[in-house]
Amino acid sequence: MLVACFHRAGVPPAVVQLLVGGPQEGQDLVAHPGVDGVLFTGSARVGIAINKKLATNPGKIVALEMGGNNPIVVVDTPKVSDAAAIIVQSAFTSAGQRCTAARRLIVKDTMYDPLMAEVKALAARLIYGEPFADPAPFMGPVIDNEAADQLVESFLYLLSHGGKAIRHMTRRDDTLPFLSPAIIDITAMAERPDVELFGPLLQVVRVPDLDAGIAEANRTRFGLSASLIGGSPQDYNRFWANVRAGVINWNRPTNGASSKAPFGGIGLSGNHRPSAFYAADYCAYPVASTEMDQPRASIGVGLSDA
């Protein structure tokens, strides 16, 4: 429908096209000599494969946006209910299926009990179901049954390796990919897996202070989005300066980035080519030019008399 709207608006069909396919179609497009650039959104595994494939072709633009293991850090704030709402929005909007969704909630000890009580209660109230259900759901299904299976297995893995369930992940029908929002405390886990669990699964870690929270936030190979809730402007300045991410917010969700600003990440989240506002800049190449209206030149030294 979007492509049809472009065409009806006068954009030539050769300029905007849509091809729906799978891995083979993607591989063919990446390698095709008629494609001058590849702007990819998807998993780190596929993005790395594209990067390797085009490593010997420096003339082809490669822009990678590959998701994240995004942290939301909470320090002292009197606005506990608001903080809980921001956390739920960050973790469970679109059933957690946004590259900027919060995967990890890092909480200062003094905030843990009141905050987790609010987050748990609010998550329990979330309605999940099909798009036109009545009452309207907050979130729908994950993409397919295979993804639902993997998320349930991931929750059980965390639970069996030291995680403490705050809210269990349930699946009311094994034939459909509807999952309840799940929350699990992984503070006691000896090794916390640094993977992007693309769904409604929020992992919680307790820390003693902001510096420990920043260190925990950076304990990832990804670097897409991060948020700080609470604290002072000085706390946020320290957070902003030290957290490795391309989208960093204060008292705002990790998701919902504006297209009027640059968008992208570092590490396994991207290759330093921000999308959104800056995308047009690297889809054209820069040209340096010096000019005069007529050719005028002389050579003042180094010439023989003849």
Q: Can 216 be counted among the known catalytic residues?
A: no
Q: Choose, from 5, 99, 130, 283, the residue flagged as catalytic.
A: 99
Q: Can 99 be counted among the known catalytic residues?
A: yes
User: What is the C-alpha separation between 94 and 138, in angstroms, rounded?
Assistant: 8
Identity at 35, one-letter amino acid code: V
> 272's torsion region: left (phi>0), alpha (psi -120 to 50) or beta?
left
Q: Choose, from 5, 25, 65, 283, the residue flagged as catalytic.
A: 65
Q: Which has the closest alpha carbon to 179: 250, 105, 91, 243?
A: 91
User: What is the C-alpha separation between 248 and 227, in angstroms, rounded?
Assistant: 6
As annotated, the active-site residues are 65, 99
